[in-house]
C-alpha cells in the first residue's frame, strides 16, 4: 500500500540552526500539507501546497518557514532559524484531490530544539 | 470559521467495555468532510474514517461505529468491547473543500483513551 514517508524520524538541533524536514508524498497525489503537533496538543495546520505554490498557510507559518518541492518526489519544510518553541512533531500529508477524500499522513518527524 | 470540539480530554475504561468519544463541529459550509484519526503511543496518525456532509448514514466497521447527526453537529465514535490495543489519542477533524485551493484539516484537541485489563 502506498504511503507517505518522512525523514528523519527524529531530529535534534540547536536553537538558531536551520533544519530541513523531508517528505515523499504518494506518487500520484497533487496536494501536499505540513501539520505540526506540539507535545500533548492538537494537530495544527501549517501550509498546503499545490501546483508548485503555497495554496494556504496558517498564522504559525511565518517567514521562518518555507516549503519546496525540489524535484518530482520530495516535499520539504525548512525552518530557517529554529526556536525552542518549534519543538514539535511535524507531519507531512498528501491527498489526491482538493476534496481531501483521504489525507494520508506520514509517520512524523519529531523535532527537538535545544 | 471551522471548529472541532472534543470535550472529553481523557477516558479510562476496563477492557470489554463500550466507549463513546464525542465530537462536535462548527462550520458555515454545507459541504464538508468529517474524519477520525487514531494516534497510538508511537505517534503516527492512522486514518479511521471519512464522512461527507451529505451522508448521514451511520457506519460500522468491526468494533468501531460512527454516529453522524447534522441536527446536533456531532460525529461521535463508539468502540464496542474495547481492547488494550485501542489505547491511543483519538482526533476528530473537519475539512471544508469549497474553501481555498486545497482543503486543510482542522483537528479537535483529541481524546486520550486508556483501556486497562
- A34-93 pLDDT, tens digit per residue, is 999 999 899 999 999 998 999 899 999 999 999 999 887 899 999 999 999 999 999 999
Provide, as residue numbers in chain A, all residues whose Cβ is less than 8 Å from the Cβ of B35.
Answer: 103
Average of per-residue pLDDT across B35-63? 90
CA neighbours closer than 13 Å in the CB half-sphere of residue A104: 19
Which of B45, B97, B110 minimises the CB distance to A91?
A: B45
Q: Which residue of A has its CA nearest to B103?
A: A98
pLDDT exceeds cutoff 90 at A9: yes
- Say whether B78 sits in a helix, a strand or coil: strand
Cross-chain residue pair A100–B47, CB shorter than 8 Å:
no
Average pLDDT over residues B2-19: 96
Contact flag B104-A45 (C-beta cutoff 8 Å): yes
**Residue from A78, A72, A67 nearest A26 by CA:** A72
Say if B102 is an interface residue toward chain A (CB within 8 Å).
yes
DSSP state of B104: P
CB B73 within 8 A of CB B15: no
For residue A114, give the DSSP letter.
-
Quickly state the pLDDT bin for B102 (edges 50, 70, 90): low
Are the CB atoms for B35 and B93 separated by under 8 Å?
yes
The whole-angstrom separation of Cα A23 and Cα A7 is 6
Instruction: Inform me whether the pLDDT recorded for A13 exceeds 90.
Output: yes
SS3 content of chain B, % helix, strand, coil (to 5): 5, 50, 45
Q: Do B37 and A105 make contact, defined as CB atoms within 8 angstroms? A: yes
Amino acid at each position: 500500500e502506498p504511503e507517505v514517508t518522512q525523514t528523519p524520524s527524529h531530529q535534534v538541533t540547536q536553537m538558531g540552526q536551520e533544519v530541513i524536514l523531508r517528505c515523499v508524498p504518494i506518487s500520484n497525489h497533487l496536494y501536499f500539507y505540513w501539520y505540526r503537533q506540539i507535545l500533548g496538543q492538537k494537530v495544527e495546520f501549517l501550509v498546503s501546497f499545490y501546483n508548485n505554490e503555497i495554496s494556504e498557510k496558517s498564522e504559525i507559518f511565518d517567514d521562518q518557514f518555507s516549503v519546496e518541492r525540489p524535484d518530482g518526489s520530495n516535499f520539504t519544510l525548512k525552518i530557517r532559524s529554529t526556536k525552542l518553541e518549534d519543538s514539535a512533531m511535524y507531519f507531512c500529508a498528501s491527498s489526491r484531490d482538493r476534496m481531501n477524500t483521504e489525507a494520508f499522513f506520514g509517520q512524523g518527524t519529531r523535532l527537538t530544539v535545544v | 470559521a471551522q471548529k472541532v470540539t472534543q470535550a472529553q480530554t481523557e477516558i479510562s475504561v476496563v477492557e470489554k467495555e463500550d466507549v463513546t468519544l464525542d465530537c462536535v463541529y462548527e462550520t458555515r459550509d454545507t459541504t464538508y468532510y468529517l474524519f477520525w484519526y487514531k494516534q497510538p503511543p508511537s505517534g503516527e496518525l492512522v486514518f479511521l474514517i471519512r464522512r461527507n456532509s451529505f451522508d448521514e448514514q451511520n457506519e460500522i466497521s468491526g468494533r468501531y461505529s460512527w454516529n453522524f447527526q447534522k441536527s446536533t453537529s456531532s460525529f461521535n465514535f463508539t468502540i464496542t468491547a474495547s481492547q488494550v490495543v485501542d489505547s491511543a489519542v483519538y482526533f476528530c477533524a473537519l475539512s471544508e473543500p469549497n474553501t481555498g485551493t486545497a482543503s486543510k484539516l482542522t483537528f479537535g484537541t483529541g481524546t486520550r483513551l486508556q483501556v486497562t485489563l
